[in-house]
Amino acid sequence: MPMHDLPGADNASAAGDRLLTVTEAAERLGVTRSRIHQLLSCGHLQGPDLPSGRLRHVPGAGRVSAASIGELITARSAHRSASAGHPSAGARPAGQREWSNLDAVPRAAVQEMKVRLDAAREALRFERQRNRRLLEVAEKLVALLRSAADAADDIDDLADGYSAALTQVLTPDDPSSVGSHAEAE
């Protein structure tokens, strides 16, 4: 499909604007291709509207308005020069940075990750409490099983004692009478 057939491409060419590929735009701004896609999504860069679906555009076709890149570079320069003159510029502790409007998409992604992490930690905390309760129940069950096994041993000892006593009662005192008693029958 030629570039002029892309949806929205006529808007860019009607304004006399040149369209750049995502790779070209990334090189001009010194960012990654995925950052260009983020900037397009949040509206900081302009380009033709693309239809939804897997094959939304021809690879290598213009995707980013050159004018919007120029505007973004100008906005960045203005922001940097304004920050340089600000009395608190450079007063941030190491490792901290200012969240600009250009960081809105990554910041939202970080925020979403934090929310999901907090939810996962809460689920883990709940699971840990549930496991502790299950361990307590298991310990009680083991104690009951040991108690039942001890009671069964006691009953077995008692039954063994009764069996021995009954054997003595049923056994005659005179072993010779066992043979003569059998002959008498």
Collapsing DSSP to helix, strand or coil, 145 comes out as helix
Q: How far is CA 9 from the centre of its chain?
A: 39
What residue spans define the domains of the chain?
3-85, 106-171
pLDDT tens figures, 123-151: 999 999 999 999 999 999 999 999 999 99
- The answer to whether residues 64 and 29 touch, using CB atoms and an 8 Å cutoff, is no
pLDDT tens figures, 94-130: 554 555 555 566 777 888 888 899 999 999 999 999 9
How far apart are the C-alpha atoms of 19 and 31, rounded to whole Å?
18
Report the share of the chain in percent with pLDDT over 70: 64
Rg of the chain over Cα atoms, rounded to whole angstroms, equals: 43
In this structure, whether the domain defined by 3-85 belongs to CATH 1.10.3470 is answered with no
* 41 phi, psi to nearest 5 deg: -65, -40
Helix (H) or strand (E) holding 65: strand 64-65
